[in-house]
Amino acid sequence: MSVRLRRGLHAVNAVIVLAALMLVVWALTGGGAQGAAAGAPAAASGTALLGAAIAVAGSAIGAGIAVAYTGAAALAAMSERPELFGRAIVIVGLAEGIAIYGLVIGIILIGRA
C-alpha cells in the first residue's frame, strides 16, 4: 500500500471519528433547540441511547473476537476428532450469546429512554 493511500485512509478515519464525537456531544447536550426546550429529559434520553449504543457495539465486538478464537479452536479440534462437533458448536454458540446479551441490554435502555 502506498504512502499516499495510507495518508488518505488516515484522513478519512479522522473525519469519521470527529463526526462520531460530534454526534456524541450533540446527543449528550440534548440535540439542539428542541433539547433546550425540553430540558433534562432530553439529555437523559440521549444518554440512555448512547449507553445502548455502547452496550450493543461493545458486546458485538467482544462476541466477534470470542467467536474468532473459539471457532478456530473448534475447527482445529474437529479436524483431529470429528466426534467433537456437538461440543464445538455449543462453545461457539456460548460465545455468540455475548452479542445477544448486549442487544437485550440495548433494548432495555432504549425502552427506558
Digit-coded pLDDT (tens) for 44-61: 677 888 888 888 888 999
Q: What is the pLDDT of residue 40?
A: 54
Question: Is the pTM above the cut of 0.75?
Answer: no
Give the residue numbers spanning the domain of 83: 3-112
Domain count, the chain: 1
Inform me whether the pLDDT recorded for 113 exceeds 90: no
Please list, in sequence order, all residues whose beta carbon lies within 8 angstroms of the beta carbon of residue 48, skipping any fewer than 6 positions away: 109, 110, 112, 113
What does the pLDDT read at residue 11? Answer: 84
Q: What is the CATH number of the domain that holds 80?
A: 1.20.20.10
The per-residue pLDDT for 8 is 82
Residue range 18-42: mean pLDDT, rounded: 65
Q: How far is CA 10 from CA 5, 7, 13, 64, in A?
A: 9, 5, 5, 24
